[in-house]
Amino acid sequence: MIQTLQAVRGMNDILPDEAEIWENFEEVIRDWLKGYGYRPIRMPIVEPEPLFRRAIGEVTDIVEKEMYAFEDALNGERLALRPEGTAGCVRAVIEHNLVASGGQQRLYYQGPMFRHERPQRGRYRQFHQIGVEALGFAGPDIDAELIIMCARLWGQLGLTGISLELNSLGSAKERADHRAALIAYFESNRDRLDEDAQRRLHANPLRILDSKNPSMQEIVEAAPKLTSYLGEESRAHFEAVQTLLSEAGIAFRVNHRLVRGLDYYNRTVFEWVSERLGAQGTVCAGGRYDGLVEQLGGKPMPAAGFAMGVERLLALWQESGELEYVFERPIPEVYVVHQGDNAQCMAFRAAEALRDVGFDVLLHCGGGSFKSQMKRADASGALLALVIGEDEAAADEVGIKPLRDGGEQYRVSFPALPEAVAGAIYGTEIQQDYKPRKGNGQGVEDGSV
């Protein structure tokens, strides 16, 4: 027996019912980003492995244990499936010189990312992000705008209960001072550190602050805080971000333990968190990464950005009930049934003529009796069936059968078909820039077409 093959664990198929919701979501996203002047960019899914090692950091969860890295079997090159988008985006910006000296770019991308994690609700091995990157901006204004635009998206999607956590990681120098203090502090408490923390003590002590181990909470809580090491400029930057957010009416909580799992961040970092998703509650995370462009070989350039987890956002959207209001299921408006050779030729022409003026049409394929074809027409959700037999074909006419209100079938001449369908469905003539409305917005649910 042939064994059936299954998708890789943690990598999900997105089936049509769900994929339609994704497309709807992506439309909202495109419109939202356009409103803030962001332009799309698309990077490869596979990048050179060293890109991520350099950008994200050697001693991070992602690089140490989550990255799908492999050798190209043909030329031995070390490659990786991208675990996130910022590194590739910055690489592309440098490679194509997208930001001239002193210039600015607002960019976004979306697509699959890959991390070898333990799959669970809201955590997958192939997941999707929408990434937003603002390059060439040094001030606190863009940090605030990045955060404010997220708030607008939550509003547009009708999501509530997503709260904002904010922190400042300071400059590289300030982080180094804080780091030295942290190492000294944790060393003097070495016996109270768990295994993970012991391992990170010298390599990445900041990440110890992120520990979720209950027995570590007390010692972590009392650790030296980065805020006490912030210099004048970092402090002013952080305060300005907070003022802009307050002015915009955005509530936030300063969380001194928010450090983020990627090494390239400095100054402002933030996370949007929902309580409804359990441990996988962060739907959006980002911050400033002023050193990254230079670190990847470009000219020094300040930058900031964030990434949102699409699966987590969609889970929230679906359970919020708000989806119902914006989601229009793309059902065909017209289903064409036909029988006989001449009828089939006319059916093709009729379907194309209706598509010419914007209708969505399903042309029956696969033959069968009129009765069985009409069953499919009914099941398709279409509002009208076109019925074409040899009689109709000979007379250059088409039968129209309303499917949703029990109306009688009638015939119209072939040239009059588009007008007749428009009238039957929408009660209007075809307009100059006629684009029929999609879905069942015309009260199909209560039976009236």
Where along the sequence are the contacts to ligand ATP (CB under 6 A)?
84, 115, 117, 122-124, 127, 129, 261, 280, 282-285, 307, 309, 311-312
Choice between 309 and 332, CB closer to ligand ATP? 309
CA–centroid distance for 178 within its chain: 35
Residue with token string 């007379």: 395
Choice between 88 and 436, CB closer to ligand ATP? 88
Of the candidates 439, 427, 331, which has an alpha carbon nearest to the alpha carbon of residue 378? Answer: 331
Q: Are 112 and 126 spatial neighbours (Cβ–Cβ below 8 Å)? A: yes
Question: Shortest distance, CB of residue 61 to ligand ATP, whole angstroms?
Answer: 7
Question: Shortest distance, CB of residue 279 to ligand ATP, whole angstroms?
Answer: 8
Question: Shortest distance, CB of residue 44 to ligand ATP, whole angstroms?
Answer: 19
User: Residue 139, class by beta-carbon neighbours within 10 Å (0-12 exposed, 13-18 middle, 19+ buried)?
Assistant: middle
Choice between 68 and 348, CB closer to ligand ATP? 68
Question: Shortest distance, CB of residue 273 to ligand ATP, whole angstroms?
Answer: 9
Choice between 20 and 210, CB closer to ligand ATP? 210
* Residue of closest CB approach to ligand ATP: 309
Choice between 145 and 271, CB closer to ligand ATP? 271
Report the alpha-carbon distance of residue 295 to residue 73 in Å, rounded.
29
Hey, what are 59's tokens? Answer: 């001693």
Question: Shortest distance, CB of residue 172 to ligand ATP, whole angstroms?
Answer: 20
Question: Shortest distance, CB of residue 369 to ligand ATP, whole angstroms?
Answer: 48
Choice between 160 and 246, CB closer to ligand ATP? 160
Question: Shortest distance, CB of residue 134 to ligand ATP, whole angstroms?
Answer: 16
Choice between 278 and 441, CB closer to ligand ATP? 278
